[in-house]
Amino acid sequence: MLADAVKTALEDIRPQLQADGGDLELVSVSDDGKVYVRLTGACGSCPMSTMTLKMGVEAHLLKNVPGVSEVIQA
């Protein structure tokens, strides 16, 4: 199931976010491969959060989870 694969992949990158005082929460995964996440902690208010989301989280999921089309901040 796509949502399970996404959860597993997010666990791989979560320690890097936590090291900077942030974290992320999976909100949902749509049938068309859109992954909705919420950045929390320091990541939620960081001016670089969009870059973290796209260049970090989205890049990791696109590379490691077939079927993911996009990551969107919820």
Cβ neighbors of 1 (< 8 A, separation 6 or more) are none
Give the tens place of pLDDT for each residue, 55-73.
Answer: 999 999 999 999 999 999 9
The overall longest dimension of the chain from CA atoms, in Å, is: 33
Check which CATH number belongs to the domain holding 22 and give it.
3.30.300.130
Give the tens place of pLDDT for each residue, 17-30.
Answer: 999 899 999 999 99
pTM of the model: 0.92
Paired residues of 9 in beta bridges: none
Structure tokens given for 1: 């199931």
Residue environment code for 15-33, b if the CB has 16+ CB neighbours within 10 A, otherwise e: eebeeeebbbeeeebeeeb
- Report the distance separating Cα 48 and Cα 36, nearest Å: 18
Residue range(s) defining the domain that contains residue 21: 2-73
